[in-house]
Amino acid sequence: MKLKRIMALGLCVSTVLASTFVSATPTETSGLASAQVTVVEESSDSLPEAFAETALDETESQASESEFTEAVPAEVTETEAAETEVTAESTAESTSIPETSASETIEAEAASTEANDLAGFVTRLYQICLDRTPDANGLQSWIDVLQNHRDSGAGVAFGFVFSPEYQKKNTSNDEYVTMLYRVMLGREPDASGKASWIKLMQDGVTRKYIFAGFIGSKEFTGICNSYGVDRGDYQSDDVRDRQPAVTSFVVRLYREVLGRSYDPNGLTNWVTGLLNKTIKGSECAWGFLNSDEFIKKNVSDSEFLDILYNVFFDRGADTSGKQAWQKVLDSGLSRQHVVSGFAGSQEYLKLCASYGIEAAPEVIRSTENRDQNQDLTALVMRYYTYALGRKPLARDLNDWTGRLISKSISGTDLTLGFFTCDEYANRGRSNSEFVSDVYLAMLGRSVDAPGLNNWISLLNSGTSRRAVCTMLADSQEFIDQCNRLGIVYAVDGWNNGLYYYKNGKKLSGWQTISGNQYYFNPNNGNEKQTGWGYVDGYKYYFGDNGVLRTDLRNVLGKQSSYFIRIIRDKNVVQVYAKDGSNGYIIPVVNFVCSTGGSNTPLGTFRTQNQYRWHELMGPCWGQWCTRIVNGVLFHSVFYSENGNASTLSVSAYNKLGVTASHGCIRLTAGDAKWIYDNCSLGTTVQIVEDGDIGRYGKPSAYKLSSSHTWDPTDPNMYYKCRQKGCH
């Protein structure tokens, strides 16, 4: 009877347990719960340890089948009764319990103990991580996971630590580490250990990395073993956790350069580049220093250098070293150039090696023009300091140094660019101050007293400041400086449109360039002459571009008197105008002509008469005739008919420029007419055998075809040229 009651009680307990598991299963883990229920029902005849011992005692008394039947409680369900009957029948077949009954009882006992252990493991996670008691559904779900070996202790712990519920607690790093100590080590944290874990997170690793560190501890292994849980392992898959030293390298850049904590996305991007070796250590550092965020901080050069010492040397600046770098910045070189210098130091190479990254300073070497030649940049800085009294903008400094390096401008151009600009003029510097400024900028030294007095004397006597600059630029001292810096003191060709250089030398005096004549005045720094100028005893006129004008008839207008010279062997007529008391020293124009050689008399004469048309030898006729002496006249090339300008002798016309007349001075119709119209009777005419045809040279003569029987310079016949489209 006792055995029947005990067996029935065992069935009831099993059924109740099965029922409890079903009701405790959360909706989202119903499949897991169902599997567990099936297992429980299949082992419902296995009893807890206390019940099993009682059953064995009663079996030895060999109770009858009827006693088992009567022992079934009235409240037992049909299923329980059926189970009881089956058990009774099995018992009746033998006078003792089958061996399998003892084995199943032991398994049930082990399962119960295991469940209790797993529940304890999970319960402490609820209590320590989530700070609450477990809900039945959740507890059973986690027990199922562990019991069926679908995850390890490490995996279940991860599920709690990184669950949305825990994340919402928004714990500090201190609180997080304290929780891990309690969960994984079963104790409160020691101060030094906790500080070490917190520092790792401050240096950029994720909480997953810290979690993984605790998982591998002996303490957590012991805790898992005590609950019968397979510890398992965990390794963070976050890129920041792959090499904590590399992550720490980037974090210190956030701290030292930007003065703030890292943002996770930015940190991940930098670390990824360093790990993949697509970014080098120097590039990473420069990326922070050249970022908009840092530039907006607008730190001074001194503050900038302090930051570099901390970033690249992991120490404060030494006085002498910082002063040396400050001097580099003061000379006009860029901050990138300075950063490149720090990045190439042995200290930084060792620092990068300690973090396991490659420094590669060459990848951030500056390409700015001002960083290519420190001495040259210092020269340009002197011009800004002494000419303009200010510091340059980076783009302007790069522009000047770039053009000097490429030799597209010269040292002379540099000087004129600064000392002839409006900005310098607006400073209102005296002549003495001007000379001092020029010396300091160009030569890097003060002017000596005799030199200062000499320059001031020149300036006071009318020499321009531009001329002073160019004369000093021609000094051997300045030329040597330019050669030392690798720049030209003057670029071949036009320099500022005022000077012309050839083979590095400034041209002086009369020069023919591209077919045009110029005069570079040695009394004005060899600057090209413009406007009126006295040269070699004559008064010339130069256009605004410096080109000598060789026909001043429209410049001067009609003068009250002229002087005419005929150079017989050159077949050239020269006309001069009077320059007041200086006499006839203004060359007006040269005409090409044909003289009669020895038949044209030499001497000085005065014009006597003029004729619109006049009969010449032949008979033939000339236009716009002016008598010089006796039968010698200025006249046009002759015509075969009197008054008919369409009967020009083409053969005679094409001989202009060579000796061809019988003594007269043959001219084009236009030139003969100008003398006829502008030179009054009594004009002095000098005929010489040989002479200097002057700067104007000998004009070219027209060459006409045989059918062109009119003079293209004849204003009365020009309509025919327009009709023919010939001149």
- State the CATH number of the domain containing residue 533: 2.10.270.10
CATH of the domain at 675: 2.40.440.10
pLDDT at 495: 77
Q: Is residue 30 part of a domain?
A: yes
Model confidence pLDDT, tens digit, residues 190-208: 999 999 999 999 999 999 9
DSSP one-letter code for 648: B
CATH of the domain at 494: 1.10.3130.20
What are the catalytic residues? Answer: 635, 664
Residue range of the domain that includes 529 = 507-542
Opening angle at CA 508, ends 502 and 510, nearest 5: 105
- Residue 566: CB atoms within 10 Å: 25
Q: Which residue carries 């059973």 as its tokens?
A: 140
DSSP one-letter code for 183: I
Model confidence pLDDT, tens digit, residues 385-443: 999 999 999 999 999 999 999 998 889 889 999 999 999 999 999 999 999 999 999 99
Q: Is residue 358 part of a domain?
A: yes
Q: Is residue 212 part of a domain?
A: no
Q: Let me know whether 404 and 337 are in one domain.
A: no
At a CB cut-off of 8 Å and minimum separation 6, what does 421 contact?
Answer: none
Structure tokens at 537: 């005893």
Q: Is residue 176 part of a domain?
A: no
Query: How many residues would you count in the chain?
Result: 727
Instruction: For residue 5, give Cα distances in angstroms to 2, 59, 291, 591.
Output: 5, 13, 84, 153
Q: Let me know whether 359 and 453 are in one domain.
A: no
Phi first, then psi: give them for residue 470, nearest 5 degrees: -70, -35
Cis peptide before 244 (omega within 30 of 0): no
Residues 695 and 510 sit within 8 Å (Cβ to Cβ): yes
Name the 3-class secondary structure at 319.
helix
Alpha helices in 633-725 (DSSP H): 650-653, 669-678, 718-724
At a CB cut-off of 8 Å and minimum separation 6, what does 556 contact?
Answer: 577, 586, 588
Total domain count, the chain: 5
**Which of 366, 382, 399 is where one domain is finished?**
366
First-to-last CA distance in the chain? 150
Closest CA to 213 of 180, 245, 239, 246: 180
Q: Let me know whether 511 and 495 are in one domain.
A: no
At a CB cut-off of 8 Å and minimum separation 6, what does 300 contact?
Answer: none
**Which of 63, 87, 115 is where one domain is finished?**
115
**What whole-number distance in Å separates Cα of residue 618 and Cα of residue 623?**
15
**What whole-number distance in Å separates Cα of residue 714 and Cα of residue 654?**
15
Dihedral sign for Cα 462, 468, 470, 474, please: positive
**Which of 366, 400, 435 is where one domain is finished?**
366
Q: Let me know whether 464 and 533 are in one domain.
A: no
Residue type, 246: V
Q: Let me know whether 495 and 514 are in one domain.
A: no
Q: Let me know whether 716 and 610 are in one domain.
A: yes
Closest CA to 364 of 342, 345, 336: 336
Q: Let me know whether 578 and 677 are in one domain.
A: yes
Residues 342 and 314 sit within 8 Å (Cβ to Cβ): no
Q: Let me know whether 622 and 529 are in one domain.
A: no
Q: Are strands 665-667 and 527-528 parallel, antiparallel or unpaired?
A: unpaired
Q: Let me know whether 570 and 518 are in one domain.
A: no
H/E run at residue 667:
strand 665-667
pLDDT at 1: 35
**What whole-number distance in Å separates Cα of residue 207 and Cα of residue 147?**
28
Give counts: helices (H), strands (E), the chain.
Answer: 33, 17
Q: In angstroms, how far is CA 598 from the centroid of its own chain?
A: 79
Q: Is residue 610 part of a domain?
A: yes
- Residue 232: CB atoms within 10 Å: 15
Residue type, 503: N
DSSP 508-523: -EEEEETTEEEEEEGG
Longest dimension (CA), the chain: 184
**What whole-number distance in Å separates Cα of residue 12 and Cα of residue 5?**
10
Residues in the chain where the model's pLDDT stays below 70: 1-115
Q: Is residue 234 part of a domain?
A: no
DSSP one-letter code for 640: S
Q: Is residue 696 part of a domain?
A: yes
Residues 567 and 599 sit within 8 Å (Cβ to Cβ): no
Residues 185 and 213 sit within 8 Å (Cβ to Cβ): no
**What whole-number distance in Å separates Cα of residue 343 and Cα of residue 311?**
10
Q: Which residue carries 């670029």 as its tokens?
A: 491
Opening angle at CA 385, ends 383 and 388, nearest 5: 80
**What whole-number distance in Å separates Cα of residue 24 and Cα of residue 332?**
78
Q: Is residue 691 part of a domain?
A: yes
Q: Let me know whether 395 and 320 are in one domain.
A: no
Structure tokens at 726: 């010939």
Enumerate long-range contacts of 128-134, CB under 8 Å, 24 or more apart.
Answer: 128/179, 128/182, 128/183, 129/160, 129/161, 129/163, 129/166, 129/179, 129/183, 130/160, 130/163, 130/165, 130/166, 131/169
Report the DSSP beta bridge partners of residue 538: 535
